[in-house]
Structure 1
Amino acid sequence: MADVVLTRDARGWTRLPIAARIGIIYVVARVVTTVFLLLAADISAQGSRFGEGAGVGDLAVGWDATWYWFAAVNGYPAELPLTADGGVAENTWAFMPLYAYASAGVGALLGSWGAGAVVISLLAGYGASVALYALLRPRLDAPAALWAVAFFASGPLAALFQVGYAESLFLFFLFVLLRCLQRRRYGWLYVLIPLMGFTRPGILAFALLLGIYGVWRWFRRRRDALPTADVVHIVALGAWATVVGFSWQVIAAIVTGDPGAYLATELAWRRNWLGEASPHFVPFEGFVQAAAFWFRAWGLGEVTGYVVLAVLVAGVAAALLWLPQVRRLGVEVRLWSASYLLYLLAVFFPQSSIFRLLVPLSPLWGALAVPKSIFWRLGVLAAALLGQWWWIYNMYALGNTYWQIP
């Protein structure tokens, strides 16, 4: 009798439209995250960023959400603010405008910018979950693709779906872009590229993806026809993504009259760790500096840091090239992952925000969903939820130093 009931329940689940099944998974995941945030708010004490008596609403508009709100209310400075020693101070030029202003528009209907920001994050997170399923389904069976969505919706950084950060919206645009590329529906990319590009940094990684994708298609043209129209679209879209990727720097330069306004603003955050050790942007310097900085701070020596960095880069490259579970996901996901990681290596200084910066690699959840063992899948889900609580606890319950920044 129990087997009959379980079979009937399973059939009822599979009869639901996929969007409904994803919606149920997403809502359950958001309830769990809400419980974690409530616990973090309750734990928050005098020494934390949020202090005693914090509520979930306070957490939702904390950290970078404050910068997006400030950009929506005050815009972007025509004159760069300076620190006491004359360096460029942190300012809103580091935060793209689309999410900030869209949250203000929705918030005007709901009564506050924070409410608008959370609603957009929640809806975009659901849209990203549906788009991720669509992206993975051609490569994985339906249960595996759905498990990948469950990992994504419940992952260590899943609180981003409920706070005033632009990641949810960025991921939605990204997954739709990758799905369009997968289906070779190039027309949509012309519209989606600027939307993604003005949500948060990362569109230059997509430009790199398009360049590598074009080379890959060229070498496969005898097995997979490469029409002239495809060549034109790939080249044009790569150029378009590059233009969009640098346009914010140009806008910042025009408004402020300082050609280096955007890069100087981004470096203002890096100087919190390095002081004036990096007054100018040098590609790939951030990870090298971080390898020395962190391993020296941990008492392990700079050379150890360099060795670990080299081994890590080589290991990730090998996984993307040869790991069977990753290869199953298709060339678009693999090339995006490689392009985005190379982009991070070029522009980022690793610190506690590195976990958030890795979220655009979320299609790789599909690789963890490939093994069909229910024990494996439940173990991955449990590890994801444990990681989520660890992240929320550190960044929201305890977050009070530069070592605990989302």
Structure 2
Amino acid sequence: MVERRLRSAASVAGTVAAVYLSARLVTTLFFWAAATLSGPTSRFGADATIPSLAMGWDAQWYWVIADRGYPSVLPVTDTGQVTENAWAFLPLYPWLARALGTVLGGYPAGAVVLALVAGYAASVVLFLMLRERIGETAALWAVVLFANGPLAALFQMGYAESLGLLWLLLALWALMRRRFGWLYPLIVLMGFTRPGVLAFALLLGLYGIHRWMRRRVDPLPARQIVHIVATGALATIVGFAWQVIAGVATGDPSAYLETELAWRRSWVGSEEQFVPFSGFLTAASVWFGIWGLPPMLGPVALVILVIGVAVVLARAPQVRRLGPEVRLWGASYLVYLLAVFFPQSSTFRLLLPLTPVAAAVAVPPSRWWRIGVLVLCLGGQWLWIHEMLALGDTFFRIP
């Protein structure tokens, strides 16, 4: 029995590795092309290289954290408003990358290798959690689409996305298998890698309601109730912990919130304040104006989009096959984004945690459908790399 499990695990690891490594070769080719096309107006200049692209944009902030830590005094403008600073980024990824860099010869190597390895591990977990719901073939295709997806460049950049996604997928898998004990450390790891653990707290609340309503056909023991409540409370506490830490370290209770608003104010003006759910409404008008459309139609389009997504999550058979945990996660994370986020050019990157929901596109059994989606993924990946790295010359080309 043990030998059979080991052979099965080795088979899964090897198959996913073949998919993942081939995808990374394609992304490397795209990076090389982007470096070649990079010109004097790009952030990376005419002498861009694959390593410089890999450590561009927000990767620099993680490097600053690894090298110098967080500021004890918040930087401010001439008018006294807080400007962009390291407190917007969580510490676990740069700390781990720095530790790995001591072995590999420097922080950049540690950051990229950590992102690469975490991306591979996330691919393995994605396959294992989906195999139980949609079958082995569809699960493997989901990994193919994930590894070659529009945002696959992040697996080869000094960004925390792949590590954060690994913790998330492990937590969802633990929830699906009802291994609640694993959620306690995973929630803490999630909470100090990427923002979004409050969405997981909402997921646990919705999951508890779902299990309670189905308790006659799916018994809900008291022990599981305790775990659901406790992990939900832990996720809530961890979700606000960084704000408290930033406030204590700087002496300004609003340090984290003001830091996050610094990025938003560069789009909408210095008077912007945080009001839940207002960011998306404001941004809808801003983006419609950028696109040359009537700004007043932006919020209308947003409402229609939200209704459409809700219908897909509730009724699409491909999504329903993923199970209630994945569907509830999709709903929870989208509500979280609507409540706290101002959609900028990094919006697509912030949608990466919806990977388990997006796996629904791999469910239809048609080979040509899946190949068509793969072609679209590769096209989207090159478009993202070309816009954000090869061009990278204006405010809406910031990943």
TM-score by length of 1: 0.95
Q: Could you say what secondary structure the match of 2:208 adopts? A: helix
Counterpart of 2:364 in structure 1 is 371
2:207 corresponding residue in structure 1 = 213
Paired AA for residue 168 in structure 1: S
Q: Which residue of 1 aligns with 2:304?
A: 311
Look up the equivalent residue of 2:125 and give its one-letter code. A
Structure 1 residue 374: deviation in Å?
Answer: 1.0
Question: Kindly tell me: are residues 15 and 163 of structure 1, through their superposed partners in 2, closer, same or farther at Cα, counting changes over 3 Å?
Answer: closer
Residue in 2 aligned with 1:248? 242
Partner of residue 353 from structure 2, selected from 340, 356, 360:
360
Q: Percent identical across equivalent pairs? A: 60
- Cα displacement string for residues 122-149 of structure 1 (whole angstroms, at most 9, x for unaligned residues): 0000000001011111111111000000
SS in 1 for 2:134: coil
Where does residue 11 of structure 2 map in the other structure?
17
1:73 counterpart residue number: 67
Deviations 1:152-184 (A, max 9, x none): 000000000000000000010000000000000
Whether 1:41 aligns to 2:35 is: yes
Letter in 1 for 2:98: A
| CA distance in 2 between partners of 1:293 and 1:85 (Å) | 24
Picking from 372, 375, 379, the partner of 1:386 is 379
- The question of 1:146 aligning with 2:118 is answered no
Report the 3-state secondary structure (helix = DSSP H, G, I; strand = E; otherwise coil) of the residue aligned with 1:269.
helix
1:155 pairs with 149, 152, 174, which one?
149
Residue ranges of structure 1 left out of the alignment (5+ in a row): 1-13
Equivalent residue for 2:4? none
CA apart distance, 1:116: 0.1
Q: Give yes or no for the alignment of 1:258 onto 2:256.
A: no
User: C-alpha separation between the residues in 2 aligned to 1:90 and 1:303?
Assistant: 30
| Partner in structure 1 of residue 26 of structure 2 | 32
Q: 1:17 aligns to what SS in structure 2? A: helix
CA distance in 2, matches of 1:202, 1:218: 25
Task: Work out which of the residue numbers 46, 59, 65 in structure 1 matches 2:53.
Answer: 59
C-alpha displacement of 1:401: 1.4
- In 2: Cα distance, 1:354 partner to 1:83 partner: 26
Shift of 1:297: 2.9
What does the per-residue CA deviation read over 1:278-306, in whole Å, with 9 as the maximum and x for residues that have no partner?
Answer: 1x211111001001111123332232111
Partner of 1:292: 285
Aligned-partner Cα distance in 1 for 2:238–2:9: 43
* Cα contact 1:118–1:162 (8 A) shared by 2: yes
TM-score (norm 2): 0.97
The whole-number CA distance in structure 2 between the counterparts of 1:298 and 1:48 is: 22
Q: Please give the secondary structure, in 2, of the residue aligned with 1:104.
A: helix
Alignment partners' CA distance in 2, 1:246 and 1:16: 39
Offset of residue 112 of structure 1: 1.2
* Aligned pair partner of 1:177 in 171, 178, 181: 171
The gaps in structure 2 that reach 5 residues or longer are: 1-7
Contact 1:151 1:365 in 2 (8 A): no
Aligned positions of 1:199-210 closer than 5 A: 199-210=193-204
Q: Which residue number in structure 2 is paired with residue 7 of structure 1?
A: none
Q: Does 1:337 align with 2:325?
A: no
